[in-house]
Amino acid sequence: MDFFLDTAEVEVIKDLNETGLIDGITTNPSLVAKSGQNFFTVLENISKIIDGPISAEVTATDTAGMIEEGLKLSKISKNIVVKLPLTIDGLKACVALSKKKVATNVTLCFSASQALIAAKSGATYISPFIGRLDDIGENGLDFIQDIKSIYDNYKSLNTKILVASVRTLEHVAKSAIIGADTITLPPKVFMEMYEHELTKKGLDAFLKDWAETKQSIL
């Protein structure tokens, strides 16, 4: 499973990229707004740090506008993935951009039928939002399983499942068990993957025992 970071904070990306675990980045207009920086400057700076896919979202809502913006975004860097909304205009733009060999990430997916038509429209990635489904009483992880089953049924569908709106470590682990291709993580959730109470207790005990030997490795 590939790990993407869901952030537009360049310094955070630079720091966490040193873990060697970051395969790509997803951004959206809200994340860029929170960063307080120029949209294109943010993407250019991220592309200098990350070699993998970087999702950059269009802001137009009509097909022609999305295509125009998508082509402009794709010129920023070879690893830019144009992020499109799952609307009829968005999927028309997806078809057009896919024909031009521009990578796409269709976002705001909330049903398996939406995921199916996005794949048939040539989406490189589909972004199902599992946390938001959990918020309204549905099971986001069951949703990922449904998409995985559909895509596995039809080998002509090459769209990758990019699990989004991730809130918990269970979301991460269960998505991996299901076999999702990619998951995009807020930095907070990414850091939580390192943590476990028993890991800390075990390390503290080892260090205490070592200190009592009065030895040094160096």
Which amino acids are annotated catalytic? 83
C-alpha to C-alpha distances, 176 to 34, 171, 179, nearest whole angstrom: 29, 9, 5
C-alpha to C-alpha distances, 161 to 11, 115, 157, 217, 218, nearest whole angstrom: 27, 9, 11, 46, 47
Q: Among 58, 63, 73, which Cα is nearest to 95's?
A: 63
User: In the block, which residue shows the tokens 């205009």?
Assistant: 89
How far is the C-alpha of 161 from the C-alpha of 72, rounded, in Å?
Answer: 25
Q: Among 116, 148, 188, which Cα is nearest to 140's?
A: 148
Burial status of residue 73 (CB atoms within 10 A of its CB: 0-12, 13-18, 19 or more): buried
Determine contact, residues 83/89, Cβ cutoff 8 Å: no
How would you classify residue 99: left for phi > 0, otherwise alpha for psi between -120 and 50, otherwise beta?
alpha
